[in-house]
Amino acid sequence: MSTATSEVERKYEATSEQQLPALSGLPGVDGEPRRDTVQLSALYYDTGELLLLRAGITLRRREGGDDAGWHLKIPAGTDERTELQLAPDPEHPETEVPREFAELLTAFTRGAALNPVALISTDRERQRLVDAAGTTLAEVVSDVVIAAVPETGTGTDERVWREIEVELAAGDRKLFDAIDSRLTDAGIARSDAPSKLRRALGDAVGGTPPPVRGKKRSAPRTLLLEYLAEQKDNLVTADLGVRRDLEESVHDLRVSARRIRSVLQVYGSSLRDQETVDELIAELRWVGQALGPARDTEVQWSRLVDRLGDAEEIADREVVRARLDEYFSGLAAAARPAALAALNSRRYLDLLAGLDTFLAAVESSEGSDPSKKTVAKTLRTLSKSVHGRVGKAAAATTRAERDELTHRARKRAKRLRYAIESTRSLTPKASARAQKKFKGFQDVLGDYQDAVVAREHILAAVAEDQHSAESSLGLGMLLQRELDRGDALAADLKPEWKSAKKVARKVWK
């Protein structure tokens, strides 16, 4: 299994004549830097279209230094990346990408082969800045880099340059910025290239595309395209988190899929033909459902354990907790493999390809509809639909009827929320206020749905064989709590919608 670390790093341009400034006397640094040299060699891998590099990801097999082996670096914020490392495996072919990394990158590579794209050798002079206890606070290195890049014909193209890297270790951002000031004062400027590979393959990658996709940034078509592209990127990023089993990643992937689906349901027919839109909607619904059990188990396990902790009237809470853990651990053991099977399927890769094709077609086509007037009319119609569904849910005479109608109101309210969100630049202030106000309404709907699903899980846990009467009694008391919770939330539904609608209607007026 790989190990993960957070890498906080800045790169700088430097000529062969430029000298590093003195690095003593910086905040928290004790004495002079500790110096050494190291020779490194790394073979970098990517697809033929450099899909990893375009996503800001680097994959390499390094020799030399303290961390020989496979490295996978993933963007994680400004100046920060997550680095996954695998030590060399004598039983694994040196030039074959480890299966763990290849599977992690599936959503980025779309199943394309990963092959060597550059061999980069580095002669490194390193200065370690340490505190009084000898703990490394930061490293400042001067690298002479030689990159061998295959040419389009035969042979290779060799490129040589010098760069400075500053990597934060146990130090804080104050030290990071102080080093930056020293380098800047010495005439050493920040590099535009985020990685050695990006600099080596700069010509092949091409320039950064302009951020504005349409003729007018305020055109609804442009806003929808940018929103859909952003959510597609978020989905792919969340995919990597799901494969790494990171908290909230399943939720993030499903939310991105739902946002894309909602926008396509509302505006899709004005962007592309209805058949294509319907196919994407169906596949986005499928992937959300495929990951549903994993998210449902995650949420409900935590919810019911918390609810149990508050239920002082339950005498045998430890017994009930053990029963909940037994029940949900069984569900979790099945849910994660099922989710990964979906993400590894051809159907899922076809969905990602379909989204790429859809976005490219919209971007290259002429036109600027839907118009602002059409957007306002659409939002107004959606609002009326939510209003009707909320009214029906509030008027329900049985819990079963109320559960179904509230769920329908929740789905339509989400569609309205994302429709507003995707065109928020048309009415930025009004949309911001509406989004903020919608949170209370969505919280009521979401909590109500969680209470409904919790009841289903409690009944399923009770129905299973071989558990004690004490756990059944305690689960029965938890069930009553969820019923009471649902009744209380139902009473809040109409007032919360009335309040949200009052603010949101300014978006489409």
What pLDDT was estimated at residue 11? 95
* Residue 263: other Cβ atoms inside 10 A: 21
Residues 6+ apart with CB under 8 A from 507: 376, 379, 420, 427, 430, 431, 434
* DSSP at 312: T
What pLDDT was estimated at residue 301? 96
Helix H or strand E segment including 499? helix 469-508
Question: If DSSP states are collapsed to H, E and C, what string results for 382-412?
Answer: HHHHHHHHHHHHHCCCCHHHHHHHHHHHHHH
What pLDDT was estimated at residue 378? 94
The residue assigned the tokens 């179904």 is 404
- Say if CB 462 and CB 472 are below 8 A apart: yes
Query: pLDDT truncated to tens, each residue of the chain (509 aa)?
Result: 789 999 999 999 999 899 999 999 999 999 999 999 999 999 999 999 999 999 999 999 999 988 899 999 999 988 999 999 998 887 777 789 999 999 999 999 998 999 999 999 999 999 999 999 999 999 999 999 999 988 655 566 788 999 999 999 999 999 999 999 999 999 999 998 889 999 998 767 754 444 444 444 568 888 999 999 999 999 999 999 999 999 999 999 999 999 999 999 999 988 888 999 999 999 999 999 999 999 999 999 999 999 999 998 888 899 999 999 999 999 999 999 999 999 999 999 999 999 999 999 998 886 666 788 899 999 999 999 999 999 999 999 999 999 999 999 999 999 999 999 999 999 999 999 999 998 889 999 999 999 999 999 999 999 987 778 888 999 999 999 999 999 999 999 999 999 999 999 999 98
**C-alpha span between 312 and 316 (Å, rounded):** 10
Q: Is 193 exposed, middle or buried (0-12, 13-18, 19+ CB in 10 A)?
A: middle
Q: Which domains does the chain have, with CATH numbers?
A: 3-204 (2.40.320.10), 220-505 (1.40.20.10)
**C-alpha span between 410 and 392 (Å, rounded):** 12
Are β-strands 3-14 and 34-46 bridged in parallel, bridged antiparallel, or unpaired? unpaired
| Among candidate residues 202, 187, 204, 201, the one with its CA nearest the CA of residue 12 | 187
Which residues on neighbouring strands pair with residue 85, listed in sequence order?
Answer: 3, 71
What interhelical angle do 372-394 and 220-243 show, nearest 10?
A: 60
Preceding omega of 33 cis (within 30 degrees of 0): no
Taking the complete model, does pTM exceed 0.85, yes or no?
A: yes
Which residues on neighbouring strands pair with residue 190, listed in sequence order?
Answer: 12
What pLDDT was estimated at residue 231? 97
Question: If DSSP states are collapsed to H, E and C, what string results for 143-176?
Answer: EEEEEEEECCCCCEEEEEEEEEEEEECCCCHHHH
- Say if CB 508 and CB 383 are below 8 A apart: yes
What pLDDT was estimated at residue 217? 54
**C-alpha span between 309 and 327 (Å, rounded):** 17
Half-sphere exposure of 88 (CA within 13 A, CB side): 12
| Among candidate residues 159, 158, 162, the one with its CA nearest the CA of residue 144 | 162
- Gap between the terminal Cα atoms of the chain: 56
What pLDDT was estimated at residue 95? 80
What pLDDT was estimated at residue 239? 97
- Residue 368 CA, chain-centre distance (Å), reads 30
At position 465, the amino acid (one-letter code) is D
**C-alpha span between 434 and 94 (Å, rounded):** 55
Which residues on neighbouring strands pair with residue 157, listed in sequence order?
Answer: 149
**C-alpha span between 22 and 14 (Å, rounded):** 16
Token duo for residue 339: 């989710």
| Among candidate residues 164, 162, 72, 158, the one with its CA nearest the CA of residue 114 | 72
DSSP letters spanning 322-346: HHHHHHHHHHHHHHHHHHHHHHTSH
| Among candidate residues 78, 12, 15, 45, the one with its CA nearest the CA of residue 201 | 45
Which residues on neighbouring strands pair with residue 161, listed in sequence order?
Answer: 145
75-87: burial string, b at 16+ Cβ within 10 Å, e else: eeeebebbbbbbe
Token duo for residue 27: 């905040």
**C-alpha span between 270 and 264 (Å, rounded):** 9
